Structure 1
Amino acid sequence: MKGMDGPIAHLVSRLRKTGGDGLVAVLAYGSRLVSASPDRHSAYDLIVVVDDYGAFYRALSDGGYTARSAGLLATVSRVLPPTVIAFWPAPPDGPLAKCLVLSRADFQRELGPRRLDHFCLGRMAHHISVVHARDPEASAWIEELVAGARRMVLDWTLPFLEGAFSVDDFCRRMLEISYAGEIRPERGGRVSAVYEAQQETLRGIYTPILEAGVASGVLERSNGKYRAARPASSVAQLRLNAYFGISKARATTRWVKHMLTFDSWFPYIVRKVERRTGMTFEITPLERRFPFPLLLPKALRVLRSARSQSRVDRKSAGGRGRPAAGGRTSGSGSSSAANGAGAS
């Protein structure tokens, strides 16, 4: 399967050995997959789909791959899925995976019309690679779910585009909406870097989807550009704003959960902040020993600092602010608002 370079192959092999037949599928995504400025400290982003939370976490615990209680992990996995864990089979020099763990039922719900928020859907809109599927049935199931999730991108991106737009305009706006809804520990310009790293892949994914929109009458095409056949209603925009607002609140709340489930979460996120922003932070010995709840206030300050620095960087560069899900942009990329919601 695609994306199986040496480190990912090693991680997937260990996950398969640990999870056994209960491991349904593993999907790779993120900066390592698309080569969006990762460094040697960057984790490999994986989505891990399992039959049963309890059985999977017991297997991790028995294998010595987590210091967390298997019972705790299984319990909290039923709240605000997915659960984020560190999978580091060969520390300190081996590859580290940041795994989003979901049961098969939760994964199917979160990529469908009954999803609870945008967290999983936003990530599936990017370039991904299915690096493990348990059997042909699981492979076909994953392919169908991801294809369906991508077809829904038109529903939540089109209302926030005005006038004529190209495939590239559409893809960039889709990423802006998704990124705007999470407090992200990185400087401004990250959307551009992520977009440019997977531009050709995104064109290949979304050109057929836009063409299907033309065929169904949702879009019109002229001179190689698209536009909505009918403007989005106020009710539709209000509904989307509410959806993205809820998604943003849930994504922010997940940070508390991450501190409970991810071994050495705060050192990991501090390293990411330092890598993405150039800021430096220190963790006291007491905070290392009792990361929760002592590190929660500092974590929030770190994230706010990163967000503030991102706004300063954009202002200094003369760029536009992070767009709102409720704001509309023209195909030329001008933005009508500075804050937004979404998740990716």
Structure 2
Amino acid sequence: MPSPLLSLVTAELSAPADPRAAAMARALAAKYPQAARAVLFYGSCLRERNLDGLMLDFYLIVSDYGAAYGKGWLARANRLIPPNVFPFEHDGLIAKYAVLSEADFARLCGPQADNVSVWARFAQPSRLLWTSDEQARAGVIAAVALAAPTLLSLARPMAKGEDVLALWRAGFTLTYNAELRAERKGRSLSIVDADPERYRGFGEAAVAQGLPPSPLDPLRHWRRLQRRGKWLSIVRLAKASFTYAGGIDYLAWKINRHAGTAIEIRPWQRRWPLLGALTLLPRLFLRGSIR
């Protein structure tokens, strides 16, 4: 018998999604016929009824990076600094997708991860829109089921009170401080407030099955995660300037959408996107547009 948490994760991942997103996931998998194992749909677009004009978010899970890219720098970059991120268009919709191997996805959903980026996202709702076979499906479900216990175990020593919603709120606040974020202050709390029944149910099931051990020095552990998270955000941004056509325009769009700014990208920043992005960051920090 699966655990209550695994049953909740399975049901949520299997819930219906927008048919256009599902078609996009199938088309994305078809780009990697030798490597694609699963496609997950996540993020704010999951709650939207009209996807036109929005940037959808997917994770493509592959068997390994060599099978996905062949020999070359993309495989090495994905292995050294996962994930690689690329743009994608299908049937009038636009998206970005991150690529992770099955092994990296499972590792980065669990407490052994050295950064928050994967488990913080998959502790939230997502949909499993395509898998290559039943083994791939079971592996992704098992990995996603690690995400909520990881967040809650790391948040528990830092939370005010033992109520499970307090653990979630503390966890998301801490994870938002461990990445470069364009969202307004309070966004981390609104995640839980938008669907408290979901988070209470998942949280109680995770606590009942037993959370992973919390760090012996939680404050030091979170400081390490936050330092590494900020550094990784900048490194991934630099890497995306080579893998993501129009990446600097996407960066501006996302910051404008979430932070209410009006950033305009200049022609020279498009010609040299890495330099443009790096010169943009200090101004955004000073304005408080990103944290």
Of 187, 190, 193 in structure 2, the residue corresponding to residue 190 of structure 1 is 187
Of 13, 29, 50 in structure 2, the residue corresponding to residue 16 of structure 1 is 29
CA 175–16 in structure 1, closer or farther in 2 if over 3 Å, else same: same
Give the CA deviation at 1:209.
Answer: 1.5
Give the CA deviation at 1:21.
Answer: 4.7
Separation (CA, whole Å) in 2 of partners of 1:112 and 1:193: 24
Aligned to 1:99: 97
Aligned identity (percent) is 29
Give the CA deviation at 1:105.
Answer: 2.2
Q: Is the 8 A contact 1:34 1:197 kept in 2?
A: no
Of 201, 204, 208 in structure 2, the residue corresponding to residue 207 of structure 1 is 204
Q: Is the 8 A contact 2:34 2:68 kept in 1?
A: no
SS in 2 for 1:152: helix
Amino acid at match of 1:193: S
Separation (CA, whole Å) in 1 of partners of 2:128 and 2:41: 6
Separation (CA, whole Å) in 1 of partners of 2:215 and 2:244: 42
Separation (CA, whole Å) in 2 of partners of 1:130 and 1:118: 21
CA 233–73 in structure 1, closer or farther in 2 if over 3 Å, else same: closer
Give the CA deviation at 1:309.
Answer: 4.7
Separation (CA, whole Å) in 1 of partners of 2:38 and 2:152: 26
Pairs within 5 Å for 1:306-321: 308-309=288-289
Aligned to 1:334: none
Q: Is the 8 A contact 1:119 1:251 kept in 2?
A: no
Separation (CA, whole Å) in 2 of partners of 1:278 and 1:122: 24
Of 7, 18, 34 in structure 1, the residue corresponding to residue 47 of structure 2 is 34
Aligned to 1:88: 89
SS in 2 for 1:19: coil
TM-score by length of 1: 0.71
Q: What residue ranges of structure 1 are gaps of 5+ in the alignment?
A: 59-69, 219-231, 312-344
Of 266, 270, 282 in structure 1, the residue corresponding to residue 252 of structure 2 is 270
Of 151, 172, 177 in structure 2, the residue corresponding to residue 175 of structure 1 is 172
CA 281–243 in structure 1, closer or farther in 2 if over 3 Å, else same: closer
Q: Is the 8 A contact 1:186 1:310 kept in 2?
A: yes
CA 136–302 in structure 1, closer or farther in 2 if over 3 Å, else same: farther
Give the CA deviation at 1:40.
Answer: 4.4
Aligned to 1:249: 231
Q: Is the 8 A contact 1:47 1:100 kept in 2?
A: yes
**How many corresponding residue pairs?**
277
Give the CA deviation at 1:38.
Answer: 8.8
Aligned to 1:149: 147
Q: Is the 8 A contact 2:109 2:143 kept in 1?
A: yes
Give the CA deviation at 1:116.
Answer: 3.0
Higher helix share: 2
Separation (CA, whole Å) in 2 of partners of 1:207 and 1:168: 9
Range 166-175 or range 95-104, more displaced: 166-175
Structure whose alpha-carbon radius of gyration is higher: 1
SS in 1 for 2:79: coil
Range 99-108 or range 110-119, more displaced: 110-119
Give the CA deviation at 1:112.
Answer: 3.3
- Structure scoring higher RCO (CA < 8 A, sep ≥ 6) equals 1
Q: Is the 8 A contact 1:48 1:102 kept in 2?
A: yes
Asked if 1:4 corresponds to 2:17, the answer is yes
Amino acid at match of 2:164: V
Separation (CA, whole Å) in 2 of partners of 1:302 and 1:266: 15
Amino acid at match of 1:304: F
When the two chains are superposed, the root-mean-square deviation of aligned CA atoms in Å is 2.8
SS in 1 for 2:59: strand
Amino acid at match of 1:271: W
SS in 2 for 1:77: helix
Aligned to 2:264: 282
Aligned to 1:56: 68
SS in 2 for 1:87: strand
Aligned to 2:5: none
